[in-house]
């Protein structure tokens, strides 16, 4: 397993999202209550960038077709 430094904690928005690049991949960081969650920045349905979605509490909604995901578990709702 490789470890990459991708952002400083102070750059991360509280209860928000930050898009970062790791080599050729876009990674979506989602910060909720000081906890960090990382996702490939693609909705698994049609690969639409999740960064353009909406975060409400711990639910991330795809901005294209409105698929919803629980950020803490990573599971679709």
Structure pTM?
A: 0.85
What integer pLDDT is reported at residue 4 of this predicted model? 73
Give the model's pLDDT for residue 22: 85
- For the stretch 9-30, pLDDT in tens is 877 788 899 999 988 889 999 9
**Which of 2, 38, 46, 3 is CA-nearest to residue 17?**
38
Closest CA to 27 of 19, 37, 35: 19
Residue 42 DSSP symbol = S
CB count within 10 Å of CB 33 equals 9
CATH architecture of structural domain 15-70: 3-layer Sandwich (2.102)
């Amino acid at each position: 397993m490789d470890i990459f430094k991708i952002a400083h904690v102070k750059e991360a928005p509280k209860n928000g999202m930050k898009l970062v690049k790791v080599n050729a991949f876009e990674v979506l960081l989602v910060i909720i209550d000081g906890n960090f969650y990382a996702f490939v920045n693609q909705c698994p349905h049609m690969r639409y960038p999740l960064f353009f979605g909406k975060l409400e509490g711990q639910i991330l909604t795809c901005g294209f077709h409105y698929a919803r995901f629980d950020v803490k578990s990573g599971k679709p709702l």
